[in-house]
Amino acid sequence: MSWKVTLPCTRQEAEALHDEDDWLESLDPIPSVVADEVEAFNDAKWRIEAYFPDKPSKAAVDLIQSRLPSAAKAEPVIAKLPDEDWVVLSQQGLTPVCAGRFYVHTSSNRGEVPDGAVPLHIEASRAFGTGGHETTSGCLEMLDKLKRQGKRFEFIADIGTGTGLLAFASCHLWPRAYLTASDIDPVSVDVTRDNALLNGYPLGMGQGHIALCAASGTDHPIIQQRAPYDLIIANILAGPLIELAPSLVQITRDGGALILAGLLNTQAAAVISAYRKLGFRLQMRSDTGDWPCLMLIKRTRYRWERPSRADGRTTQPPGDFGTW
pLDDT at position 87 is 46
pLDDT at position 173 is 97
**Phi, psi (rounded to 5 degrees) for 34:** -120, 135
Q: Are residues 74 and 161 in the same domain?
A: no
d(CA 70, CA 47): 11
CB 258 within 8 A of CB 245: no
Residue 113 lies in a domain: no
pLDDT at position 39 is 75
pLDDT at position 18 is 66
Domain of residue 218, CATH code: 3.40.50.150
pLDDT at position 133 is 65
pLDDT at position 139 is 93
What's the total number of domains in the chain?
2
Q: Which residues of the chain have pLDDT under 70?
A: 1, 18-21, 40-41, 83-95, 124-133, 301-324
**Is there a binding annotation on residue 183?**
yes
pLDDT at position 96 is 77
Q: Are residues 77 and 133 in the same domain?
A: no
pLDDT at position 309 is 44
Q: Are residues 204 and 286 in the same domain?
A: yes
**Is there a binding annotation on residue 160?**
yes
Burial of residue 177 (CB within 10 Å: 0-12, 13-18, 19+) is buried
d(CA 313, CA 108): 42
What is the domain range of residue 37?
3-83
**Is there a binding annotation on residue 136?**
yes
pLDDT at position 198 is 94
Domain of residue 28, CATH code: 3.30.70
Residue 39 lies in a domain: yes
**Is there a binding annotation on residue 42?**
no
Residue 115 lies in a domain: no
pLDDT at position 91 is 45
3-class state of residue 98 by DSSP: strand
Q: Whole-model pTM?
A: 0.69
